[in-house]
Amino acid sequence: MSSGRYEMVVGLEVHVQLKTRTKAFCGCSTDFGAPPNANVCPVCLALPGALPVLNEHAVELAVRAALGLGCRIDPISVFARKNYFYPDLPKGYQISQFDQPLATGGSVFVGQSEKGAELRIGITRLHMEEDAGKSIHDRYPGETAIDLNRAGVPLIEIVSEPDIRTSAGAGAYLRTLKQILQYLDVSDVSMEEGSLRVDANISVRPPGQAKLGTKTEVKNMNSFSAVEKALDSEFARQCALLDSGGMVEQQTLLWDGARETVRPSRTKEGSHDYRYFPEPDLRPLMLDSKWVDHMRKDLPELPAARKTRLATEYGLSVVEVEQLTADPALAEYFEEVARAAGDGKAAYNWVMGEVQVALRTSSEEIGRFRVRPADLAQLIKLVRDGTISHTAAKRVFAQMVATGKPAAQVAADEGLAQVGDEGAIATWVDEVLNEHPGEAARYLAGEKKLQGVLVGFVMKKSKGRADPKRVNQLLSSRGG
Amino acid sequence: MSVDNYTQLGAAQIAPGVRAGKTSPAEMIRASFKRAADIGGGPDELNIILHADENASLEEAEQMQARIQSGTDIGVLAGVPVAIKDNIASLGLPTTCGSKILRGYVSPFEATAVARLRANGALIVAKTNMDEFAMGSSTENSAYGPTRNPLDVRCVPGGSSGGSAAAVAAGITPIALGSETGGSVRQPAAFCGVVGVKPSYGRVSRYGLVAFASSLDQIGVLGRTVDDAALGLESIAGFDKLDSTSSDADVPIYRLAALGKPAPEARNPDTEAIRIGRSPVPLPPPPGPTTLEGVVIGKPKEYFPDSLDPDIRRMCDRALDRFRSMGATVREISLPRSPLAIPVYYILAPAEASSNLARFDGVRYGLRVDPGKGLKAMYEATRSEGFGPEVTRRILLGTYVLSAGYYDAYYKKAQAVRTLIADDFRAVFTSGVHAIFTPTTPTTAFPIGAISDPYEMYLNDIFTVTANLAGVPAISVPIGRVRRLPVGGQIITAHFDEYAMFRVAYALEAGLGAEAHQ
C-alpha cells in the first residue's frame, strides 16, 4: 500500500457552542429548535444602526474552557471582523478574534504511546466568535430559505497544533476534548445539534521530513467516526496523488458520508480574503488577572485527574475507570455510591451493570435516575452484611427502580431478607433433592460438578432468600 | 413668547412656555411646518427635508398637550421641534441615509439619541437630507438630489449633515441632530452660519446611528446658538448600555458653562435634576466680556497655513482678538502630525465603511435587484444599483486597503499615525492650553457642482478631521461673513471636556455679538 511511504499530519479546528441562555452580542435566546427566525432582533438581523454588546457569560465560559485546556489567557484580546458575503451572515462579517485571541498555548493529554510516553496534542489557540445563520436549500424548490436563529450564537474555536498522526489519534483527541468540555460544563457538545463541529486540516509527508506538505481542509463531518473516515479517505487520496506524480492542491473539501468520499466545496474558501480588522464596535476585552485566577481555582476536577484518583482511591483498573469517567455525571454517581457503601468494586459492578441496564431500558439520564446513590449504597450494604442475597438484591433493585422506595423497605415488603436458618434451608434442600431425583442420585454418587445446579434450584425455590453459603455447606455435607 | 417670531426662538425660549401650558406643542408643529413651506424646504426647492408627516406630528403634539394638561412635566425640550439627519434611526419616519438602497426603509427601533430627545419633550418633525451614508462634504451625494444653502441657494450647505444645518439655518427647527465622521456637522454648520458640535467619541450613544466608520462616528448637534447646541447635547449625552463604546463619564450641565466659570467640581443635585428634565429650563446669565480670564487659547500653526484664504484668516484674527479682549491668552502652538490627517482618514474611514456597508446586500431589507442569475449576480446588481458613485468609490478603496498584502502598508500604518495625531492633542492639552482655536473650513460655501474632483472635496475636512481621529470634542461657531457667506471658527478641547469647549464658545458668541453674522 502506497500510504506506507507517507505520514499523515492533521490539525483540527473544533467549533463549540457555548452553553449560554442568550446570544453572544444580543439578548436573543439560544434555544435549539425554535421556529425559524423566532430568536432574532435588530442586532442579530444586522438592521441599520444596531450595535453588538458582549455577553459576559459567554466570556466566562470561554475562559473556563481555555483554562481547562491548559491555555494561557491573554489579559487583552481583541474582537475582529471576518468579512465575507453570504446570505446567512447578516452583517456581511462575522465577529471573531484574529491576531489577538482570548487564549493560546494549551494541550490535551490523550493517552500513552506504546513506549509509555505521554501523548499530548497541543492547542495553538482558543478564540471567541459568533455563529452564522443557516441556509436551507431543500425546503422550497429553486429557493434558499434563511433561518437566523443561530446567527450570533456564541462559539469558541479550538485550534490544535498539527500534532495528530493517525485518524484514530484524531478520534482520541476529539473524544478527550469533548469529555473535558463536558466536565467543564461549558457546552452541550452535541454533534447532532451542531453544538460541536470539526474541520480537519490534513497533509502528508514522507516520515522524517520536517517540512509540511500542502494541506487541504475537510469539512462536513457529522460524527467523530466520520472525521476518522474522512481523514483516512483524504489521506489515501493525497498519497495516491503524490505517487502518481501529482501535487496536492490547497482547497476545501466536503466529506460525503453516504459515498464515503470527499468532494471539492462549491465555494472556493481557500481563495477568500477575509480582510480582518479590529471590530470598532467593541472595546478590547480586558480580563483582570485576579478574576482569571479565581476562575482557575473554580475549575472542576478534569477527566485525567479524576481517572488517576478513582483508580487509586477505589482500586479500579484502567478500563473500569475509563468506563466510569466517560460521562462526568456517571462518575459523580459512582463516587457517591462508592463512598457511601465503602466499597468501590461493588459500586462499580452495580453502576456499570444493573444501573446501565435500567438507564438503557428507560432511556433516562443518570442525573435524573430514580435510584439515588445513597439508596444504591444501602442495597450494597444489605448484601455485604448478609441481610439479602445477591440474587435477591437484583430483584430489590428492580423494585427500587420501579417504585423509588429505599432498599431496606423493598426487601422487607417483599420478604426478601436472606434466610440463614438451618431448618428452613434443610427443608428446601430436601425438597429439591426429592423433586430432582436423577440429579440428586448422580450428585450423591459423587458427581460434584452438579452442586452448582442444585444450589440454583434451592435459590429459585427460596425466591433468592436462601443464603447460598449455607446451601453449599449443607449440600456438601450430604454429598460428602 | 410669540410664535410669530418662531424662527428666532431658541429651544430654551420655547420649552418653558410649552411646559407651563402657555404655548401648545401643536402651535410649534404648525410654526415649523409653515416655516418649511414658506422657505421651500421640500424636494423641489431647497430639498432640506426628506421625510416629514405634519398630521402625525400634530397628533403627537396633541398627545403631549393632553399630558401637559394632566400635570405631567414634559422635560427641558418640551414642544421643541427637532430635525434628525436621515442616518439616525427614528420610529414613524423612514431612515434612508440619503441612499437608494434604503428607499422607504422604516426602522423598527429608535436611536438612543432620538429616544432621549423625545424623553426630554422634543418633537421630531423631519428627517433631513444628507450625503449618501454620510460620505461627502456638500450634500450633493444624496440619492434624492442636493440640498441648497438657505443663505445662498446657488451654494451647497456643506455636508454630510447639510440638510440638518440648512434646517436650522432656515429656521425650520432650532435644533437638529447631525452625525460626524470627519467634520460632517461642523463643516455644514460653518457653511450655513449656525453652531455645530461634535462631542468626544463615546459621549453620545451611536446606537441607531447607521454606521459609516464606527471608530470615528459620533452624533452631533446643530443649533442656531451655542445655547441650543449645549441644551441639545446635554439632552442626549451619557452612557448607553446598547453602545459598548459609549462612555460612563459624568455629563455636566453644559448650559452652566454660559456662566463663564470652570466646570463645577462636584455634581450638584439641582443641576442633575435639570438634565433629566424635572426643573424649568433656567436661563443662565450671558457671559460678560471678561469671562475668559486665565484661559489659554492655542492657535496651531498647521491650521493657519500661508495658503489660507485671507478673508477666513481675517475673521479668525478678529475672533482671536475677542478672546484676548475677554482676558484669554492666545498661544502659538503646533500639532505637527495634523497634515497627515486627510490621508489617514481616507484609509481608515473607507476601510470601516467597506465592512459596515456589507449588510446592504438585498437579502433582508432595502433594495433588491435580482437578475435571476444566482446569488452573486443579485449582490452585484443590488449594490451597483443601490449605491451612488462616492459610496462605491469608498467601498472599493476600503476593500483594497484591508486586502491581504496591503493591510500592513495602509490600515495598520494609518492606525499608528492616528495615535500620533491624538498624542499631539494630548501634549497640547497637558501643556496648559485649555482650548484650541482654528478655522472650521478652508473656504466658505462653494457653488453646487463646483467641485468635481473627489480629492479636492476631501480637503474640505482638512481642519475638522483631526478631532474625529483624536476623539476630542469640537464645535464650530459663526465668526463672521465673507461676501455674505458665513465663516465658522472651531474650538477644540480635551477628551470629555465639552464644558470648557462650551464655555469658550459661549464667550466667543457673546464677544462677537452681531459681528458673528457680519
CA-derived radius of gyration, chain B: 22
Whether A282 and B102 lie within 8 Å, measured CB to CB: no
The pairing of beta strand A252-256 with beta strand A261-264: antiparallel
User: A437 and chain B: CB distance < 8 Å anywhere?
Assistant: no
The pairing of beta strand B474-482 with beta strand B485-492: antiparallel
Q: How many CA atoms are closer than 13 Å to the CA of A346, on its beta-carbon side?
A: 20
pLDDT tens digits for A303-351? 989 999 999 999 999 899 999 998 889 999 999 999 999 999 999 999 9
From A51's Cα to the closest Cα of chain B, the distance in A is 6
pLDDT at B266: 46
| Helical packing angle, B25-39 and B11-19, nearest 10° | 150
pLDDT at A448: 85
pLDDT tens digits for A8-21? 999 999 999 999 99
Instruction: Work out the burial of residue A331: count CB atoms within 10 Å of its CB; fewer than 13 is exposed, 13-18 middle, 19 or more buried.
Output: buried
pLDDT tens digits for B60-83? 999 999 999 999 888 889 999 999
Q: How many CA atoms are closer than 13 Å to the CA of A30, on its beta-carbon side?
A: 25
Whether A85 and B215 lie within 8 Å, measured CB to CB: no
Looking at the fold, whether A243 and A355 belong to one and the same domain comes out as: no
Q: Is the pTM of the predicted complex or chain greater than 0.95?
A: no
CATH number of domain containing A460 = 1.10.10
Out of A292, A321, A342, pick the residue that ends a domain.
A292
Looking at the fold, whether A313 and A174 belong to one and the same domain comes out as: no
Domain assignment of residue A128, yes or no: yes
Looking at the fold, whether A285 and A317 belong to one and the same domain comes out as: no
pLDDT tens digits for A392-451? 888 889 889 998 888 888 877 777 777 767 778 888 888 888 899 888 888 888 888 888
Alpha carbons B440 and B158: distance in angstroms, whole number: 12
Mean pLDDT of A354-361: 92
Q: Report the candidate in A214, A224, A220 with the shortest Cα–Cα distance to residue A261.
A: A220
What does the pLDDT profile of chain B (518 residues) look like in tens digits? 567 899 999 998 999 899 888 999 999 999 999 999 999 988 889 999 999 999 999 999 999 999 999 998 888 899 999 999 999 999 999 999 999 999 999 999 999 999 999 999 999 999 999 999 999 999 999 999 999 999 999 999 999 999 999 999 999 999 999 999 999 999 999 999 999 999 999 999 999 999 999 999 999 999 999 999 999 999 999 999 999 999 998 888 888 888 887 776 545 545 444 444 444 455 555 666 667 999 999 999 999 999 999 999 999 999 999 999 999 999 999 999 999 999 999 999 999 999 999 999 999 999 999 999 999 999 999 999 999 999 999 999 999 999 999 999 999 999 999 999 999 999 999 999 999 999 999 999 999 999 999 999 999 999 999 999 999 999 999 999 999 999 999 999 999 999 999 999 999 999 999 999 99
Q: How many CA atoms are closer than 13 Å to the CA of A279, on its beta-carbon side?
A: 32
Site of grid cell 447639510: B162
Domain assignment of residue A40, yes or no: yes
Q: Secondary structure of chain A: what % helix, strand, coil (to 5)?
A: 40, 20, 40
User: A53 and chain B: CB distance < 8 Å anywhere?
Assistant: yes
Q: Which residues of chain A lie closer than 8 angstroms to B244, CB-CB?
A: 51-54, 281-283
**Which residue type sits at B149?**
N
Looking at the fold, whether A437 and A383 belong to one and the same domain comes out as: no
**Backbone φ and ψ of B126, nearest 5°:** -160, 155
Helices within A167-219 (DSSP H only): 167-184
- The CATH number assigned to the domain with range B3-290+497-506 reads 3.90.1300.10
Domain assignment of residue A50, yes or no: yes
Out of A292, A322, A346, pick the residue that ends a domain.
A292
User: B109 and chain A: CB distance < 8 Å anywhere?
Assistant: yes
Domain assignment of residue A199, yes or no: yes
Alpha carbons A422 and A471: distance in angstroms, whole number: 9
Looking at the fold, whether A108 and A231 belong to one and the same domain comes out as: yes
Helices within B70-145 (DSSP H only): 112-119
- The closest CB to that of A49, out of B209, B365, B407, belongs to B209
Alpha carbons A242 and A236: distance in angstroms, whole number: 10
Q: Report the candidate in B209, B292, B188 with the shortest Cα–Cα distance to residue B511.
A: B292
pLDDT-derived band at A476, boundaries 50, 70, 90: confident
Looking at the fold, whether A324 and A253 belong to one and the same domain comes out as: no
User: A267 and chain B: CB distance < 8 Å anywhere?
Assistant: no
Best residue in B215, B364, B384 for a mutation probing chain A (most A CBs within 10 Å): B364
pLDDT at B279: 42
Looking at the fold, whether A475 and A353 belong to one and the same domain comes out as: no
pLDDT tens digits for A119-164? 899 999 999 999 999 999 888 998 899 999 999 999 999 999 999 9
Looking at the fold, whether A391 and A452 belong to one and the same domain comes out as: no
Alpha carbons B433 and A235: distance in angstroms, whole number: 69
Looking at the fold, whether A231 and A332 belong to one and the same domain comes out as: no
Give me the number of domains chain A comprises.
3
pLDDT at B244: 97
- B33 Ramachandran zone, left/alpha/beta (phi>0; psi -120 to 50): alpha
pLDDT at B282: 59
From the list B24, B32, B57, B85, the catalytic residue is B85
Looking at the fold, whether A377 and A285 belong to one and the same domain comes out as: no
pLDDT at B280: 47
Domain assignment of residue A298, yes or no: no
**Taking the domains of chain B in order of start, what are their residue ranges?**
3-290+497-506, 340-408
pLDDT tens digits for B374-411? 999 999 999 999 999 999 999 999 999 999 999 999 99
* Comparison of pLDDT for A399 and A285, the residue scoring more: A285
From the list B57, B107, B138, B160, the catalytic residue is B160
**Backbone φ and ψ of A386, nearest 5°:** 85, 5
Parent domain of A376: 303-413
Looking at the fold, whether A239 and A112 belong to one and the same domain comes out as: yes
- Peptide bond preceding B179: is omega within 30 degrees of 0, i.e. cis? no
Out of A233, A264, A292, pick the residue that ends a domain.
A292
Domain assignment of residue A297, yes or no: no
Domain assignment of residue A397, yes or no: yes
* Comparison of pLDDT for A464 and B297, the residue scoring more: B297
B113: CB partners within 8 A, 6+ apart: B88, B177, B204, B205, B208, B209, B219, B236
* Comparison of pLDDT for A388 and A25, the residue scoring more: A25
Question: Is residue B85 flagged as an active site residue?
Answer: yes
Strand partners, A135: A146
Angle made by CA atoms B85, B87, B91, in degrees to the nearest 5 = 85
pLDDT tens digits for B91-107? 999 999 999 999 999 99
From B317's Cα to the closest Cα of chain A, the distance in A is 39
Site of grid cell 398637550: B65
**Backbone φ and ψ of A19, nearest 5°:** -85, 65
From A265's Cα to the closest Cα of chain B, the distance in A is 16
Q: Report the candidate in A232, A269, A237 with the shortest Cα–Cα distance to residue A250.
A: A269
Looking at the fold, whether A247 and A353 belong to one and the same domain comes out as: no
- The closest CB to that of A280, out of B208, B215, B407, belongs to B215
Query: ipTM for the complex?
Result: 0.95
pLDDT at B290: 65
Q: Which three cell numbers stand for residue A442?
A: 448422580
User: A273 and chain B: CB distance < 8 Å anywhere?
Assistant: yes
